[in-house]
Structures are given as C-alpha cells and as structure tokens.
Amino acid sequence: MNHSMPFITDLETALTCHGRFSLNYRDPHAPGKPITLNGYRAAGATEKSPVVIVQHGVLRNGDEYRDFWVNAAELHGLLVVAPTFAEADWPDVHAYNNGNLQCEEHPQGVTDPEASSYACVQRLVRQLAASRAVDADQIYFFGHSAGSQFVHRYLALCGPSGFAGVVAANAGWYTLPDLSLPFPQGWAKTRLSLSDLARMFDYPLHIFAGCNDNDPQAPHLPNEPAARLQGPTRFDRAHYFHEYARRQAESLGVPYRWTLHTIPEVAHDGRLMSHVAAGYWFGAGIPQASELRRLAQGSASFTA
C-alpha cells in the first residue's frame, strides 16, 4: 500500500510531523546501504507517547507494515517507525534477517558486529531515545515473519536495553540459544557468552504464534535442514524454540521470563498480528478469538 509523500531529510523533523512520512536514513557504519524509515505519527501523539519500531517481513514491505499500525496509532496516540531494508542494498535473508554477519553460509558478511543490520537499528533506537520528540522509556519493538527472526536475533546480540516491550511473531525459524551450534542455527563463534544468554532469558520476550500458521508448504517458509529440525510449521517451531530456551535457562540455573502466546484464528498475517500486539501492549490485552475471527475474514491469509 503505497502513499505518495515527500521524503523528509532529517529524523527530528520526521518525528514531529503528523501522518505518514518517509526518511532516507544512513548509518555511518554501513556506508552505501541506506535504510528507509517508513513512519506514522498520530494526530494526538506527544513527546510522551509510545513509539513502536516495526520490522517488516521477507518482502521488505516496511510501508505496508507501517500501515498495519495506523489504526492502532490513532487509537492509542502512537508514533510508528518501520526501518525498511531494501533488497537492492541488503540482499537476501543473510543481509537482513541474519544481520549481514559473516558465517559459513554467508562468508561475504561483515565480521564487525557494529556493521550488522541489527546494530543499525540499535543506533536508530538510541537516536530516537535521545530525541526531544520521544519518551526513551516508551519504545516498543515488534517483528513479524522475517521481522520476527530479526527481532529475536537482535535481542540476543544487542540486548533488550531501550525497549519497554518486545514481540516476535510468526518467525519462520529461530536461532537457538546454544553456543555450540553454528550461526544462524545457534550462536557458536559469535561474541555471545553464557552471561549473554542469561541476560536474554531474563528479559520478558513475548513470542506470538498464530494457531492457523500451520501450513508446512507455506510460501517463504524456511526449508533448510536446521529449520526443519524445529518442526514442520511456524507454529511448531515457535513451541520448539520456547521449550528449547526454557530448558537452556533451567540448565544454567537462571531466571526464564519468556512467554509463548498462541493466538487463535490468526495465520501468517502481519496485519492481524500487528493488531494483536497493539491490543496486548496498549489496549485491553490480546483480542478475543471472536474479534480475531471477524478480522481474519477480511484479511489476506498470507502477509510476509
């Protein structure tokens, strides 16, 4: 869903403009690889309003994901920012979902974690937190599909600092909290340590799994052997990830504060999952099955 609008040239101006905006954002650690910030500021938003960082899926459709949040933004007075990683500048799943980090599957990736796609968003979050237009204690992080892969890997590498809440919804597969498995299956040969895993388990990550996201032949479902080991569908893989992480935390003797939410009536649908997350954070909680059933009838069955 494209809306004609001028590009805004600086972040501070964008954050104070009501309605939709787009900004060509350049990170100094990733020269030549711009990120488009597709945003929306509700008419009633103030400098004390919540901010939602929204990570798009494999289609790199940050403008659509921004628009999935427009109704919630107006209802709750939100500022929405969707960092959009264009395929031309951040090609394939390795550059976006997997952070552009060097690994066996991606030898051309960066060795400096500060040049990863995760670090680019981390620096953006810090800029937002430092802005006079944003309450640093009211920044939330949401990702669906490939964006959910991005979010949970970000949480591991960059930590939860700066977020009031994090939701990872309907990921195609997960990087397991295991230092013996190669990335992106696990975190071997990365900078992560057991103390980093403990820190990650102690943050209340919310994993959303649509009960109807249960098609083993779904479009864009990762099919590599490591992904298949986690189960045949996205719904199964969310359960596998949650239970694997719980056992890891138990073996380390550290607190485990993650929660798996099974969402009725929802398939692989970024619009509906955005509605669920907005209700969970800013409304009366996860919407009832009857409401989600009604909304699902008018929604696409697949939104990457």
Q: What domain count does the chain have?
A: 1
Tokens matching residue 4: 């004609």
Tokens matching residue 222: 């990762």
Q: Which amino acid is at 117?
A: S
Residue 2 belongs to some domain of the structure: no
| Domain span holding position 235 | 7-297
Say what the pLDDT of residue 29 is: 87
Q: What is the pLDDT of residues 137-176, one digit of tens each?
A: 999 999 999 999 999 999 999 999 999 999 999 999 999 9
DSSP-derived letter for residue 224 is S
Asked if residues 109 and 103 have their Cβ atoms less than 8 Å apart, the reply is yes
Say what the pLDDT of residue 32 is: 86
Assign residue 231 a region (left: φ > 0; alpha: ψ between -120 and 50; beta: otherwise): left
Say what the pLDDT of residue 5 is: 60
Say what the pLDDT of residue 31 is: 83
Q: What is the CATH number of the domain that holds 34?
A: 3.40.50.1820
Q: Which long-range contacts (CB under 8 A, 24 or more apart) does 180-185 make?
A: 181/226, 182/103, 182/104, 183/98, 183/101, 183/103, 184/97, 184/98, 184/103, 184/105, 184/153, 184/226, 185/226
Say what the pLDDT of residue 3 is: 53
Residue 144 belongs to some domain of the structure: yes
In 18-158, the DSSP E strands lie at: 19-25, 35-41, 51-55, 79-84, 139-144
Residue 302 belongs to some domain of the structure: no
In 160-297, the DSSP E strands lie at: 165-169, 206-210, 259-263
CA nearest 128: which of 23, 282, 273?
23
Residue 128 belongs to some domain of the structure: yes
Cβ neighbours of 103 (radius 10 Å) = 17
Beta-bridge partners for 7: 22
Segments in the chain below pLDDT 70: 1-9, 300-302
Residue 172 belongs to some domain of the structure: yes
Say what the pLDDT of residue 7 is: 57
DSSP-derived letter for residue 205 is -
Residue 120 belongs to some domain of the structure: yes
Cβ neighbours of 275 (radius 10 Å) = 23
Residue 184 belongs to some domain of the structure: yes
Beta-bridge partners for 210: 263
Instruction: Indicate yes or no: pTM above 0.85.
Output: yes
Residue 259 belongs to some domain of the structure: yes
